[in-house]
Chain A
């Protein structure tokens, strides 16, 4: 909003105040995220800037907290950093294990949520879909219902959701279940829980992409002799792919950032990064958490960039200009 030429002096003053207010709100939004980056290079175990850091003295900065991420839980952190040292990091270091768990859980939860969510979104965006509003409300509700309620429900139910030791289900899923054959304290339980939490995001982004989708393209492809599979992979998929990918990224971030369900349904073998951070913040808060936070900020910047680029591509494909 540019200032019109007929603005009175009072309006001018108000206009500049308004700009200042906006800047302050942007500062409020972004400063807390950026502040963790310099703090994570602190040479001292403090959560604030030391006088040396403020004087830009190199001695005030160090990489020791990033080093902690590799050495915490390492059986012999002080030895020479050769191949064995690094393989011990990969196998034993607490934060590395948490990262591996987070990654695998996130990956499988994303695949599950994206595949099921995309197919469902295709059905939901057809005009003839029965009970559309009701089903949509149900599928979005994992995002609306407080996570604590979902986590409590799951912790009750997953403890009972067990398979008999030698049944067919045990043969199929036993490797991903807990020792007792239950969903509680198992990788599969966490994956299923995170997939449920990610589904609303996939549904929302994919149906939004499909709302601009010309349904007659499907008929055109069929009339030209394509079978449903060809139509899906050659016509529908390329057009909705940007929406699917951003939905998948949302689902991944949801899983990657989720801690409450993990606290309630996971066992000691399902230690994830957010759980490790949560415990770290509750117990002994060390700048190692800021180092993790910095890495996560970098990841989120990368993800955001990807989603923005995808959104622009999607808009271009659908012929929407601008935002």
Chain B
């Protein structure tokens, strides 16, 4: 026996067993990986690269660089100029560029770029470009005579910052910073629309998550404790909404909740409210919350149910027989065992709610809009870089939640139906 252990174990064809095993394992690894490779390439191409491209757009804008070469060159030569009082040569470069823009018809592109940080510049640029070829030196005085805004330090700061293709400016705008004459400053409280909407989105998502949990808990418990035949039937009631088109469900909520809708008709008919006092439950935040709770409820019920189903009923009986009241039994014995399901369902519902678009867009009215709707709004206004920056911020918060979900629940535990 002693000799056998010192002698190197070999395979039938004489290779060392250890090396042969390693080679076989590496081969198996490669084979498994090659099976995944086609899909991986597909997802990289259709998902990762587009998102990477979007993130690049959130840092990049060449609208000013490409249309104002002289001024950009001057900014590069004089990085430390005084924005409050730019010298005559800067104005000369600007007027030269404005004249060029008028010829190339790039006024809109350059103006749009500066407009991100200094609102109102598109019309300023158009006006300046129209007059540029007739202006005479000294350009500083003649350009300011066209519009006094040309002398504003904030504008010069904005143009200097736009002379770089890559910038974090759009993230500053999306975090409610404003470019004033003195530089970037945090906006007034009532001007903080972006961070306010982020906070509101998280708050509404939190409310929806809590509502889903409250509604899902009793139902999941019932489904988990009923005999299989009955619970299978009831499960269909949970799965049918899951399989029904989101637009169908949103449409029916409009039919139910609008002012001339079924719920209001019913309330009037039984005399709870009178015809003038019809409730406004649609096209506002209430509409968003109710419809989204309905849409996301199955995502809470399914994980809760799959956890509750495997909780042995004997624990609760043991607690009761040891003298615990039914409330104590629930609080100390049953509830802690459902925590994994609560965590899984709540995180999933919250993640899905934060990025919701369609339902708020259709039933949210003015005050039920979420952050996704703001991204769509800026896309429709061609503020692409700002839309990309807001989307980038939303993406980071989702990825943190996703990472949390993976740590707490594990993505392989995700189940459908």
The answer on a CB contact under 8 Å between A116 and B38 is yes
Binds B, one of A28-36, A58-66, A78-86: A28-36
A308 to B238, CA, bound (A): 13
Residue on A with the closest CB to B362?
A: A281
A155 to B376, CA, bound (A): 12
Residues of chain B within 8 A (CB-CB) of A47 are 254-255, 258, 260-261
B195 within 8 A of A: no
B165 within 8 A of A: no
Residues of chain B within 8 A (CB-CB) of A128 are 25, 28-29, 32
Residues of chain B within 8 A (CB-CB) of A105 are none
Given contacts A129-B36, A158-B50, A160-B53, 13 further A-B contacts (CB under 8 A): A1-B226, A18-B222, A25-B218, A49-B265, A138-B43, A149-B355, A152-B379, A250-B416, A274-B245, A282-B362, A290-B255, A308-B239, A323-B309
Contact check: which of A137, A192, A300, A322 meets B240 at CB < 8 Å?
Answer: A300
The answer on a CB contact under 8 Å between B47 and A141 is yes
Within 8 A of B (CB), among A172-189: none
Contact with B along A114-134 (1 / 0, CB 8 A): 001101101110101110010
Report which A residues bind B (CB closer than 8 A): 1, 4, 6, 11, 14, 18-19, 21-22, 25-26, 28-33, 35-36, 39, 46-49, 112, 116-117, 119-120, 122-124, 126, 128-130, 133, 135-142, 144-150, 152-158, 160, 192-193, 195-196, 199, 201, 204-205, 207-208, 246, 250, 253, 256-257, 259-260, 264, 274, 277-278, 281-282, 285, 289-290, 293, 296-297, 300-301, 303-304, 307-308, 311, 322-323
Contact check: which of B255, B362, B412 meets A36 at CB < 8 Å?
Answer: B255
Residues of chain B within 8 A (CB-CB) of A33 are 240-241, 244, 248-249, 252
- The A interface is mostly helix, strand or loop, or mixed, namely helix
Given A199-B39, A257-B247 in contact, is the A157-B254 Cβ separation under 8 Å?
A: no
The answer on a CB contact under 8 Å between B355 and A148 is yes
A208 CB to closest chain B CB (Å) equals 6
Report which B residues bind A (CB closer than 8 A): 25, 28-29, 31-36, 38-40, 42-43, 46-54, 57, 215-216, 218-219, 221-222, 225-226, 228, 231-232, 234-241, 243-256, 258, 260-262, 265, 294, 297-298, 309, 313, 320, 326, 351, 354-358, 361-362, 372, 375-376, 379, 384, 387-388, 391, 394-395, 398, 402, 405-406, 411-412, 414-417
Contact check: which of B40, B379, B388, B417 meets A264 at CB < 8 Å?
Answer: B379
A135 to B384, CA, bound (A): 30
Residues of chain B within 8 A (CB-CB) of A32 are 241, 249, 252-253, 256, 294
Residues of chain B within 8 A (CB-CB) of A136 are 411-412
Residue on B with the closest CB to A140?
A: B411
Residues of chain A within 8 A (CB-CB) of B33 are 123, 129-130
Contact check: which of B47, B256, B391 meets A35 at CB < 8 Å?
Answer: B256
The answer on a CB contact under 8 Å between B40 and A36 is no
Residue on B with the closest CB to A323?
A: B228
B343 CB to closest chain A CB (Å) equals 16
- The B interface is mostly helix, strand or loop, or mixed, namely helix
A198 to B298, CA, bound (A): 19
Residue on A with the closest CB to B24?
A: A128
A122 to B34, CA, bound (A): 10
Residue contacts A-B, CB under 8 angstroms, 13 given: A30-B240, A32-B253, A120-B36, A124-B36, A144-B405, A145-B51, A146-B394, A152-B387, A199-B42, A257-B246, A277-B245, A285-B254, A308-B239
The answer on a CB contact under 8 Å between A301 and B32 is no
The answer on a CB contact under 8 Å between A130 and B29 is yes
Contact check: which of B35, B57, B228 meets A120 at CB < 8 Å?
Answer: B35
The answer on a CB contact under 8 Å between A259 and B247 is yes
Residues of chain B within 8 A (CB-CB) of A160 are 53
Q: Which of B47, B405, B406 has the most CB of A within 10 A?
A: B47
A282 to B261, CA, bound (A): 17
B174 CB to closest chain A CB (Å) equals 14
Residue on A with the closest CB to B255?
A: A47
Residues of chain A within 8 A (CB-CB) of B265 are 48-49
B141 CB to closest chain A CB (Å) equals 43
A6 to B265, CA, bound (A): 45
The answer on a CB contact under 8 Å between B262 and A35 is yes
Contact check: which of B39, B46, B416 meets A193 at CB < 8 Å?
Answer: B46
Contact check: which of B43, B50, B250 meets A153 at CB < 8 Å?
Answer: B50
